[in-house]
Chains A and B, each alone.
Chain A
Amino acid sequence: MQRIRVQTESFDVAAEMAALQGGDTGVGGIGCFVGTVRDAAGGRRIVAMSLEHYPGMTERAMAAIAEEAGRRWPLLGCTLIHRVGRLLPGEGIVLVLASSAHRAAALEATAFLIDWLKTAAPFWKKEFFAEGGEAWVTAKADDDRAAERWR
């Protein structure tokens, strides 16, 4: 079962875990990753971030990433929630959950899902700095390398 959402509002991790588990007592573990807004980047303080995406393609790309995880690991379900719009330091940006009968699949699939989400789904971040000014975040070679290890 895939649960995929793009939304402006915050998410409730415990509620999402319960919804993913859905009373399925075959679930032995749920991997969880929460991405949050950091208050600094490259030595500059960040007061806010805004996230833009490509409606339509975003959901398709997220579904394709979830399907790929389902082909690679025996998952019972996964949840991908990505926020868009204006976010403040400390707020959650992205939630990845993966449930399976055993922990290895749940944890590995969670790492795969966030690595691929960072490099294969059409989202763009802009940072707003405390001293004024704003800048689009540039893609990181580290993120490409992290995604590449799953090829």
Chain B
Amino acid sequence: MNAPVHILYFAWLRERAGAGSEDVVLPDGVSDVGGLIDWLRARSPGMAQAFADPALVRCAVNQEFGNAATKVKPGDEVAFFPPVTGG
């Protein structure tokens, strides 16, 4: 059985995605963050807008910073967010 991937959205990505988190079953053929983004942006206009400019989106897989090439497998936690602005 395929465990879902837990996806989190923060800041304006959360606002555009319309939710802070969701669980999705990883579609066949998707094995990295870039593939997951391509699949997510095809799902709704809000998602397409959230991921419209990939240069503005950062990600983490299992709470470690990653990039488009970072592998994603069932059960992982994947977060999408803008460049950080703390401090």
Q: Give the chain B neighbours of A52 by CB distance below 8 A.
A: 10-11
Taking a contact as CB atoms under 8 Å apart, the answer to whether A122 and B60 are in contact is yes
Q: Interface size class for chain B? A: 10 to 19
Min C-beta distance of B50 to chain A, whole Å: 13
Taking a contact as CB atoms under 8 Å apart, the answer to whether A139 and B84 are in contact is yes
Which of B11, B60, B65, B87 is in CB contact (< 8 Å) with A136?
B11
Min C-beta distance of B83 to chain A, whole Å: 3
Taking a contact as CB atoms under 8 Å apart, the answer to whether B87 and A54 are in contact is no
Interface positions, chain A 78-102, Cβ under 8 Å from B, are 82, 93-94
Taking a contact as CB atoms under 8 Å apart, the answer to whether B63 and A121 are in contact is no
Taking a contact as CB atoms under 8 Å apart, the answer to whether B87 and A123 are in contact is yes
A52-B10, A122-B10, A124-B11 are known contacts. Are A57 and B60 too (CB-CB below 8 A)? yes
Q: Flag whether A138 is at the interface (Cβ < 8 A).
A: yes
A94–B65 alpha-carbon span in the complex (Å): 22
A54-B8, A57-B79 are known contacts. Are A123 and B63 too (CB-CB below 8 A)? no
Interface positions, chain B 73-87, Cβ under 8 Å from A, are 79, 81-87
Interface positions, chain A 99-151, Cβ under 8 Å from B, are 114, 117-126, 136-140, 143
Interface positions, chain A 14-65, Cβ under 8 Å from B, are 35, 51-54, 56-57, 60
Taking a contact as CB atoms under 8 Å apart, the answer to whether B82 and A53 are in contact is no
Q: Give the chain A neighbours of B60 by CB distance below 8 A.
A: 54, 57, 122
Q: Flag whether B12 is at the interface (Cβ < 8 A).
A: yes
A101–B84 alpha-carbon span in the complex (Å): 33
Binding site for B on A (CB under 8 A): 35, 51-54, 56-57, 60, 82, 93-94, 114, 117-126, 136-140, 143
Binding site for A on B (CB under 8 A): 8, 10-12, 60, 63-65, 79, 81-87
User: Mind listing 15 A-B residue pairs with CB under 8 Å?
Assistant: A52-B10, A54-B63, A54-B81, A57-B63, A117-B86, A120-B65, A121-B87, A122-B86, A124-B11, A124-B84, A125-B85, A125-B86, A138-B85, A139-B83, A140-B85
